[in-house]
Structure 1
Amino acid sequence: MLAFVCVATASIFAATLNPPDMFSKSTFEASQAQAKTESKLFLVDATATWCGPCKKMDKTTWVDDKVVAWMKQNAIAAQIDVDAQKETASALKIEAMPTIIVFKDGKEHDRIVGYKSADELLEWLNGVLQGKHAIDKVIADAGDRKDPAAKINVQARMELARTLASNKKFDLATEEFLWLWEHMLQHSNSYSGVRLSFMASDMTKLAEQYEPAKVAFTKLRDAARQKMDAGSKNRDVTLDWFVLCEIVGDEDAILAWFDKAKDPPKN
């Protein structure tokens, strides 16, 4: 897990933000020190002035009476502007907004990304107090892919892969995406379009961040090409090859294929 962040230079909350009252008005460093002194959780809400879901949470979730009461009892909360406090955002490895991180005993315990209602946030926070992680529920919903008799929830498995990637568990995320690419349509053929678009985009991002994922996805691409070279006329195989080339960033292979198709060798 990410070690508790202590940025060398003071990070004053940006004037462009107008955090709800429950957030500390102190610096990031002073807020984290207060959490340690009071033996409370330290919660960080990474936001941006242009982030629609962030603004929605400011107007709803973060002013909800139940949330405010929970925070007062259990945590010190700080809100950071990822544009104005770039060093802090980088140290926290913020990639999307809103990202909400909870630290326990000086170390990151868990993080969630995206808009959360008051009830959703409190469910997560109460789980944190019990030592749980957001991914625990995702795993339970997804079904056991190693059990042939298990009912697989493809949407939940995709969410699991994304959650693993966002939590920097790149090796496990790679395993999930590999399984999904090869098996998801066996469980739900309606995800064909999602597989080649949204999931492919997630796989591209992972390949850019984690070289072993790129290597693994390249092997998938090469396997599809072997089928094509062996004479396969299956349109899905060819489409898989094209998309996998894009996932691993090998547009040159696509151009070479088009050149060869345009000018086939003469006998």
Structure 2
Amino acid sequence: MIKNISLTLLAVFTLSFTAIAQEIDWVTLDEALELQKEQPKKIIMDVYTNWCGPCKMLDKNTFQNPDVAAYINEHYYAVKFNAEGNSKLTYKGQVFENPSYDPQKANRRNSAHEFSRFLQIQAYPTMVFFDEEGGFISPISGYLKPQQLELYLKLFKSDKHKEMTSQEQFNAYYKAFEPKFKE
């Protein structure tokens, strides 16, 4: 009897947790650009490396946050891009690869991918935002907690960044911003 109750409670807890936990629907950049043709959405690209500690923290602490995952899935196409990986991608008709990639260094510092150089990525992690037509908006470098990322997700989603012509305007937005995501 107690065993049956324990199993039932475990099943209910597991189902409840599964319903609450949400993962980001990651796609490749090529897939995101293709999806934009059918349903325009902005793109958030997580530019990471395999050896980067803050990148792993971003995955664990921020991208696993239910509020972050739900917001990204609803309003963005999410792309993971290994800045030192060996993938091949096409952006704006140009093909990007990593011809100096060394498979023996897959989990250590490796050659920078041509696309990370094209985007002028200089730190990991960096989140790169693209508009609904795949046009570059902005990179945001560094580890961000859920509420810190929320500020940028909502800034770019609403296009408020287009109204900001000075650092003072961004500072005013930053000070007035009231985060809703739970930490």
Q: Normalising by the residue count of structure 2, what TM-score does the alignment of the two structures yield?
A: 0.59
Q: 1:37 to 1:142 in 2, by over 3 A?
A: closer
Letter of the structure 2 residue corresponding to residue 37 of structure 1 = E
Given candidates 84, 94, 112, the residue that maps to 2:140 is 112
Which is richer in helix? 1
Which is richer in strand? 2
User: Which runs of no fewer than 5 residues in structure 1 stay unpaired?
Assistant: 1-19, 144-267
Q: 1:117 to 1:83 in 2, by over 3 A?
A: same
Q: In structure 1, what is the Cα distance between the partners aligned to 2:156 and 2:170?
A: 21
Name the % identity.
25
Q: Normalising by the residue count of structure 1, what TM-score does the alignment of the two structures yield?
A: 0.41
Q: In structure 2, what is the Cα distance between the partners aligned to 1:107 and 1:66?
A: 26
- Give the alignment of 1:78-117 within 5 angstroms: 78-85=79-86, 86-104=113-131, 105-117=133-145
CA contact (8 A) 2:129 2:137 kept: yes
CA contact (8 A) 1:36 1:106 kept: no
Q: In structure 2, what is the Cα distance between the partners aligned to 1:132 and 1:142?
A: 9
**Larger Rg over CA atoms:** 1
Q: Are 2:123 and 1:121 equivalent residues in the alignment?
A: no
Structure 2 partner of 1:74: 75
Give the Å deviation of 1:114: 0.5
Q: Deviations over 1:128-155 (max 9, x none)?
A: 1222339x59822899xxxxxxxxxxxx
Q: Deviations over 1:37-79 (max 9, x none)?
A: 2211111110011111111010010011111110111011111
The count of corresponding residues between Structure 1 and Structure 2 is 122
Given candidates 159, 166, 169, the residue that maps to 1:131 is 159
Give the Å deviation of 1:123: 1.1
User: Which runs of no fewer than 5 residues in structure 2 stay unpaired?
Assistant: 1-21, 87-112, 172-183
Local SS of the residue matching 2:63: helix
Local SS of the residue matching 1:100: strand
Larger RCO, structures 1/2 (Cα 8 Å, 6+ apart) = 2
Q: Deviations over 1:87-145 (max 9, x none)?
A: 222232211111111111221122211011111111111111222339x59822899xx
Local SS of the residue matching 1:63: coil
Structure 2 partner of 1:264: none
